Each structure stands twice: as C-alpha cells, then as structure tokens.
Structure 1
Amino acid sequence: MIRFHDVSKIYHIGGEEVHALDHASMHISPGEFVSIIGPSGSGKSTMMNIIGCLDVADSGEYLLDGLPIEQYSERELTRVRNRKIGFIFQNFNLIQRMTAEENVELPLIYQGVRTAQRRQRVREALERVGLSKRGHHRPTELSGGQQQRVAIARALVTEPSLFLADEPTGNLDSRTGNEIMELFHELHERGNTLVLITHDEKVAQQACRRIRIFDGRVEEVDG
C-alpha cells in the first residue's frame, strides 16, 4: 500500500539545509498496523505529511496503492486525502461551533454523499466509538478522550483504506490513551491499515511493526 524509495525532503532554515528525510526507504502492506517512532525533530511529521499527501518529497518515489504520488495533480491529491486516508490528530482538529455529529458528517458532505446516507453513516460511526448518545454535544462539552473518539469517528465514516494517526494519545491521560489504543486495535482487527506516528515507546510497541526515524533516516525495529 505504502512504499517509500530513497525519499528526501530538505528545508532551508536560516541559510542552513535541514534534511527532514534523508534517502528514506520503507514499505507498509495493506492491513498492517505500523508505528513510526522518533523524537521531536526526527522527521516524523514530514513523513506523515508525505504519506498523507499533504506535502511532496524533493526527490525519491512515494507509491500509494502502487501509484506514484508525484504524478498526481493537486485536485487528485485532494481526492486521495478525502477518500483514501482517515486523519487522526493529536489536537483533534474538531470545529468548535459544530456538534459531534456535524464534525463527523463534514467529510461526507465534501464527498457529495446524500443526506439520508450521511446521517446513517454518522450514527454508525459514533456508535462504533461509543458516543452514540453524545452526538449533539459540541467539543467544549466533551472530555479530551471523547473528542478524540469523535475525531476517530470522523476518520472512519468515509471508510478509508488507510488510517494515519499523529500522536493520537499525546494530549490524553494514560487511562484514556489506553482506551483510544483499544479502538485502534479494533480497527486493525477489522482489516484496516493503520500508521501511528508517535514519540512514545509504550504506544509504539502496541503496533505489529515499528519503524524508527532519527535525523531523517529510517530503519526497522527488531522485536
């Protein structure tokens, strides 16, 4: 599903070159649950942005479902992001003026899904994350863990082939973080592909495979 071959990304900061990714190569197969682990500044966010089609590499090749992303137009990249990838962020990225139901419904509106089908899929998504009774609440009326569950429902409502989670437990206490990880395991058991970006070894170890990144260089983690 995901293949990096010799991917590099360089930023120019204050007259210096920063190699966010330095000839990185890795692959992730359909149905895998993989964590990408590294400290702050290691290149994790850059890798996530490229995997999620939010950015493009300076050199090398990124294949998503066998197709080279660099050949996609911006319109095609937007379509890929909306239909193939379910994003889950550390800060939840919910729209504060909208209810949980409305936040989950939003990507379906972008896809042009009809109203009746949208509402059914929103109900099912919130039920899957255990929030069927909180759909009319706004983010400020929900705990951090509940907000992250809404974010997960928003990601899964489009039935993406890939879930891309960036530090999804970073703003949660340990108990709530464990509950969110249980949700990820359930998604994986249903056959979904999950890529989890984290700096936390304990979180990373829950994935079936770990990829470590440091100073833009990528290596597999044994054991």
Structure 2
Amino acid sequence: MIRMENVIKKYTMGEEEVYALAGVSMTVKEGEFVAIIGPSGSGKSTLMNIIGCLDAADSGIYSLNGTPIEHYSERELARLRSRQIGFIFQGFNLLPRLTALENVELPMVYQNIRTAEREKRAKEALERVGLGGRMNHKPGELSGGQQQRAAIARALATKPSLILADEPTGNLDSRTGREILSLFEEIHEAGNTIVLITHDAGVAARAQRQVKIQDGRIVGEEESHGNTILEDGMEIHCGK
C-alpha cells in the first residue's frame, strides 16, 4: 500500500540546510498496523505529512496504492486525501458547533455523497466505536475519550484505504488511552490498514510492527509479536 524509496525532505534555516528526512525507505502492506516511533525532532511528523499527502518530498519515490504521487496537482492530492486517507489527530479536530453525527458526516459532504448515505455511514461508524447513544451530543458534551472515538468514526465513515493517526492518545489519560488503542486493534482486526505516529514506546508496542526513526533516518524495525529487531542493517535476535 505504501512504498517509499530514499525519500528526502530538507528545510533551509538561515544559511544551513536541515534534513528532516535523510533518505527514508519503507513499506506498509495492505492490512498492516504499523507504528512509526521516534523522539521529538526525529522526523516522524514530516514523514506523517508526506504519507498523508499534506506535504511533498524533495526527492525520492512515494507510491500510495501503487500510484506515485509526485506528479499529482494540489487538487488531485486533495481528492486523494479525502477518498483514500482517514486522519485521526491528537487534538480531535471536531467542530464545536456540530453534533458528533454532523462531525462524522462532514468529510462526506465534500465527497458529494448523498444525504441518506452520509447519515447511514455516520451512524454505523459511531455505533462501531461505541457512541451510538451520543450521536446528537456536541464535542463539549463529550469526554476526551468520546471525542477521540468520534474522530475515529469520522475517519472510518469515508471508508479509506489507509487510516493515519497522529499521537491519538496524546491528550488522554492512561486508562482512556488504553481503551482507544484497544479500539484501534479491533479496527485493524477488521481489515483496516493503520499507520500510527507516536513517541511513546508503550503505544507503539500495541501495533503489529514498529518502525523507529531518529535524525530523519529509519534506524530499526521490530515486529511487536516477534523477537527480531533490525538495527542499522543488522539483525539482533532477542528473547521474548
């Protein structure tokens, strides 16, 4: 589903060029649940923006569902984002004046999906995340965990091929965060592809596979259910 080869992204700061991504190569297969983990300044946010087609690489190849995106126009990228990628953010990004149901419906308005179909999909998505009884509540009437559930429902309702989550538990207490991660596991088990961005090793461990990034480079990969870690091209076999 995702293929990156030697992706480079750099910024100019004064007279100095700073590499946010310094030759990233990685793949994500359809149906995988992958966590990209790294400290602040590691390049994970830049990587997320490129995966989500919110920014473009300076060089290298990025293909989504087999299609290289470097020649897409802004309009084509906007259409791709709305139809193929479901975004989940740390800050929920719900509109305060709309109900949970209306918030979930909103992306489908921009897809020109008919009213009856929008409402049907939104209700199904809210039921799926356990908010069937809170559809008509506005964000201010929902807890943090419920708001994140509504945000997840909004991502699911558009039936994207990829769900991209940026620090989805960052604004939640530990118990609520665990509940949200359990929900992600259920969504993955239902066949959805998920890429989760985090700095938290405990959160990353809940994914099927972890990709570690530091200083703009992939420095290791780890199968969460296995015992092989790749560090700078070397295999290290660890006991469970």
Same fold (TM over 0.5): yes
Question: Per-residue CA shift, 1:126-176, capped at 9, x if unaligned?
Answer: 100101111111111111100000000000000101000000001101100
Is the counterpart of residue 4 in structure 1 residue 13 in structure 2? Answer: no
Moved over 3 A (4+): none
Is the counterpart of residue 26 in structure 1 residue 26 in structure 2? Answer: yes
The one-letter code of the counterpart of 2:16 is E
Distance 2:162 2:132 in 1: 24
The one-letter code of the counterpart of 1:152 is I
Is the counterpart of residue 101 in structure 1 residue 101 in structure 2? Answer: yes
Partner residue in 1 for 2:219: 219
Partner residue in 2 for 1:66: 66
Partner residue in 2 for 1:114: 114
Asked which structure has the greater RCO (Cα within 8 Å, sep 6+), the reply is 1
Unaligned runs of 5+ in 1: none
Question: Per-residue CA shift, 1:86-143, capped at 9, x if unaligned?
Answer: 0000000111111111100001101111111111111101100101111111111111
Distance 1:38 1:124 in 2: 34
Partner residue in 2 for 1:179: 179
Report the TM-score, using the length of structure 2 for normalisation: 0.91
Partner residue in 1 for 2:236: none
Q: How does 1:177-216 map to 2 (within 5 A)?
A: 177-216=177-216
Report the TM-score, using the length of structure 1 for normalisation: 0.98
Distance 1:166 1:50 in 2: 13
The one-letter code of the counterpart of 2:134 is R
Partner residue in 2 for 1:152: 152
Comparing 69-78 with 192-201, which one deviates more in the overlay? 69-78
The one-letter code of the counterpart of 1:153 is A
Distance 1:191 1:182 in 2: 15
Q: 1:14 Cα shift?
A: 3.4
The one-letter code of the counterpart of 2:160 is P
Distance 1:95 1:173 in 2: 22
Unaligned runs of 5+ in 2: 228-240
Partner residue in 1 for 2:130: 130
Q: How many residues are aligned here?
A: 223
Q: SS of the counterpart of 1:133?
A: helix
Larger Rg: 2
